[in-house]
Structure 1
């Protein structure tokens, strides 16, 4: 009989056990919240530091375009990487004309292009779609290739392969196709 009492005494919960369980659950919950906050903060810091050179280039090129090309508003920013890196902004100048401003990397040389003298990014995409099947456009960018203005169209095909097409700014003809 003594054995039964000891055995049944083991089955009875200890006083304060419910408090311990609640304390452990709240500690686990606060640990999870802290971990999530660290992940979100770390991800944001990583993104901000990775995007910092692009943001600095955008600020520099936008300021140049506003001061040298007399842009009153900027609607787009493009980054083009081939033989040389070019940055471009699209916007409206003080006469109300739609223009593109092209700036080579690390130089303050500004080329102002009247948008009406060539095709725009959407028309460049359509020029590529006439020859290739595009599942998703990744980006378009204005730059120079062999001393002529081109639109670079980066896209995924039906096999999810990244492809690049260079389209002549003035004629809309395909200049180069790169299939990776």
Structure 2
């Protein structure tokens, strides 16, 4: 009888130890992911504040980031008058560029264009960016071969200006 009690106690200690170990591992994974996301969360928060301060953006309906030599954070939404705009902010220097959404194509229109012309397996992301002070859409996608590709398209026409394929 005493032997059975010892076995039950050691089984209980084993399960308690295992549960504690798993809790510690899960907590550690949560902390790692939280820390990994922190820079982007901070950048988004700062971009929203800048867009509100300099462009008077009220209703935000999108956040983008792009890095083609220079890093840009962009916010889409409506200003005080209800006008749909994009606010593009340079990470270095903080230059703010305001673009009227009606002067070019939307992200959905560009996605549709890429799907029709390139037939990607998956579109990873899309972002508005600036090159020589001119707006462009950058689309990241995976092609049929499973290779990463980037298409830089003209903001106004949707025409592909630069294509980096099969990375």
Structure 2 length as normaliser, TM-score? 0.93
Q: Which residue in the other structure is 2:18 paired with?
A: 32
Alignment partner for residue 90 of structure 2, among 69, 84, 104?
104
**Which one has a bigger Cα radius of gyration?**
1
Q: CA deviation at 1:16?
A: 1.5
| Counterpart-to-counterpart distance in 2, 1:110 and 1:140 | 20
3-state SS, counterpart of residue 158 of structure 2: coil
1:41 aligns with 2:27: yes
Q: Which residue in the other structure is 1:63 paired with?
A: 49
Contact 1:127 1:174 in 2 (8 A): no
Q: Which residue in the other structure is 1:87 paired with?
A: 73
Q: CA deviation at 1:146?
A: 4.3
Contact 1:135 1:158 in 2 (8 A): yes
| Counterpart-to-counterpart distance in 2, 1:114 and 1:104 | 17
| Counterpart-to-counterpart distance in 2, 1:76 and 1:155 | 19
Alignment partner for residue 173 of structure 1, among 136, 155, 159?
159
1:149 aligns with 2:135: yes
Ranges in structure 1 where 5+ consecutive residues have no aligned partner = 1-14
Q: CA deviation at 1:107?
A: 2.6
Ranges in structure 2 where 5+ consecutive residues have no aligned partner = none
Say how many residue pairs are matched. Answer: 166
Contact 1:79 1:85 in 2 (8 A): yes
Alignment partner for residue 113 of structure 1, among 78, 89, 99?
99
Structure 1 length as normaliser, TM-score? 0.87
Give deviations 1:5-27, integer Å, cap 9, x for gaps.
xxxxxxxxxx3122222212222
